Structure 1
């Protein structure tokens, strides 16, 4: 998959794209990223496809981590369209372990104070990350201490399958009343278990049959074959003295990078609908084109257009942005003007973050620095793939990509 049309014919200035490449190359030259692949398309045509410091093959496999979440969300909405559940269904109707949930109100991890939730977790809350579930890894809060004490203290807790983990998560109190706040957590993993129960298939089988095969995403998987593993990138990590190290064992003091050379499934033992997929530039580009096409690609329709519109509208309580709804803010200004839908973040008013992108642009990122965006107004998509964990530069890269429609674009 190479550039098939020249950028000016699709309204993108070559000088602006060259500037973008130059800015992204600086991250590699300064030792902050190991390398990257970038693909920009407009009106369904690839207009810019570059790599720097990394294999440029379209079939190179990357760990996309949380860019798995939009894929799992799309899969769930396929079942919703078929009438298999309503978004307002109490989760306990399908997963009884979530009956009679309680809210953490005080105390500490050893002696928590809780009270009954006033309402149930509803399926829409999983898609919105407003369920009250946490990750056990990111918050300085007694509830996350409780997750860690039970072996649930990372996005990929080891040793249990998805059904067992779902029951374990249900046995802990919630961070807040369902639907009232936003918190990044295991909601999409629980959504993956819901897909299994409702469909009667394992999550990987459902995704393959209903998403990957119809879209021609032939390399996206939880379980790479030996041939695919040969195309799997290394994960890099910040070195103690600066720069990057190639292997996790060379970076033992770097938090959260142990055993990252394994896939999430190999490391954890469960089908992680929130962060376990491997994918390629070619495959994820097709996923973005399906979204840009209102749920259809090359004559195959996964979602109705109105379903995609629903998923990419702001669903935060009261219509606020993440800066007001989130329990914690990663950094000042990061969540200003940013909403959240059913599996995607959405730019509501980019001026609040000083980002010159179109309102309604949506997407998400992964822990190893991968990110993507879909701009329905300008009919533009961008996918950026790299592999460094942790990756503090994702937001800055996403901002650079978001500026594309305002750097010489003609409608």
Structure 2
């Protein structure tokens, strides 16, 4: 990516410098161990900054080539993989997932008002579209409700040492759905199930499909389900302000050290992953992920060819819900605001910035990860931004809203 002067791309350098002050403050206040941000406009880099540490215990700085867990920022990659297969005419989005994973035949959903996990009614299996949109009735262990608690009891989270993917998908199918598919919205492991569909439909492991069809053409040589060989000590450690499990949002307790070490580089399951989690398994560098985000901004093209057509990208970046996420009624953890925000294929879509309460434009497409990473694409401003840090959960601080406000405050043309 070529580098341009911010002022030549309609950005005020002095106002952009507020970003570094903000990042330094988060480190000084022990909110984040360290962080980095990369901003491009019109396909040219206009700003990069890194601060703090990737590994506090060893005193290693957070640098441009630091490798991080991107968690749910894996979801857009998996969504692209599925749409690549859709473009080949192998299936359509309204196909039931049971056509690819037979364990999803004969599904049950919790009845409204259920107080026990066995209070269910028969329902149709989720479609691929519903899995992509989080309207499938699946859930996450950290969500409130009967299904979330049951998943927590059975430790269904698609962690990097939970492989293989086919076995975990079958375990998910054995549980009832939280609701009849299509009737509500709940953040879920649906994209992990989509990852398994990609494997079945393509005849390749998800890791192989990513490497050959997406990461290779994009030149994302340091992105994968395991820390790449030869990375040395560039893999960041993960921290949390919670007293217990960094993913246990239902029983979160704070107090004491705001940067508790929860997954140390050198001893992490991400260094030899057995699970190919399409919902949250990738590690990456900020330059690698910018290549992916820029491919979306450019309508599916990249230096290595074309992954998707502009028409398909436009389809993905539209709101596929009947209204905003909040109107879908289900209580759920979400990486982004739910009011004024819709959901497309692979990420959220701003419907009305005023209702979201964050500066932006209609159509802004974005998603984040549990370790507080974030990216967004503003096609009105022709702008792409990627932010990396390593603190879980992502709901700890309002950093994403603050970041968007800071960047919009620097756009002057």
- Please give the TM-score of this superposition, normalised by the length of structure 2: 0.89
1:67-89 CA-to-partner distances (Å, cap 9, x unmatched) read 11111111111111111110111
Give the alignment of 1:114-125 within 5 angstroms. 114-117=120-123, 119-125=124-130
In structure 1, distance between residues paired with 2:404 and 2:227: 32
SS of the residue 2:199 aligns to: helix
Counterpart contact for 1:264–1:272, Cα < 8 Å: no
Match of 2:252 in 1: none
> CA 1:187–1:233 in 2, change beyond 3 Å: closer, same or farther?
same
SS of the residue 1:384 aligns to: strand
1:302-353 CA-to-partner distances (Å, cap 9, x unmatched) read 010111111111111x2x111112511559x931101111110111101012
> CA 1:13–1:399 in 2, change beyond 3 Å: closer, same or farther?
same
> Structure 1: where are the runs of 5+ without partners?
249-256
Counterpart contact for 1:135–1:155, Cα < 8 Å: no
Aligned-pair RMSD on alpha carbons? 2.4
Give the alignment of 1:8-407 within 5 angstroms. 8-54=7-53, 55=61, 57-105=63-111, 106-109=113-116, 112-117=118-123, 119-139=124-144, 141-152=145-156, 154-156=157-159, 159-238=162-241, 241-245=255-259, 247-248=261-262, 262-264=268-270, 266=272, 269-298=274-303, 300-316=305-321, 318=322, 320-328=323-331, 330=333, 334-393=337-396, 396-403=398-405, 406-407=408-409
In structure 2, distance between residues paired with 1:400 and 1:239: 22
In structure 2, distance between residues paired with 1:229 and 1:178: 45
Displacement of 1:263 in angstroms is 3.5
Counterpart contact for 1:350–1:359, Cα < 8 Å: yes
In structure 2, distance between residues paired with 1:151 and 1:405: 39
Displacement of 1:205 in angstroms is 0.2
> Structure 2: where are the runs of 5+ without partners?
54-60, 244-254
1:91-148 CA-to-partner distances (Å, cap 9, x unmatched) read 1112211112111115444x6211011x331111111111111112221x22223223
SS of the residue 2:375 aligns to: strand
In structure 1, distance between residues paired with 2:264 and 2:151: 19
* Count, aligned residues: 393
Counterpart contact for 2:40–2:385, Cα < 8 Å: yes
SS of the residue 1:355 aligns to: coil
> CA 1:280–1:186 in 2, change beyond 3 Å: closer, same or farther?
same
Counterpart contact for 2:217–2:302, Cα < 8 Å: no
Displacement of 1:229 in angstroms is 4.9
- Please give the TM-score of this superposition, normalised by the length of structure 1: 0.89
1:8-51 CA-to-partner distances (Å, cap 9, x unmatched) read 10001112211232223221111111111011110000000001
Counterpart contact for 1:378–1:405, Cα < 8 Å: no
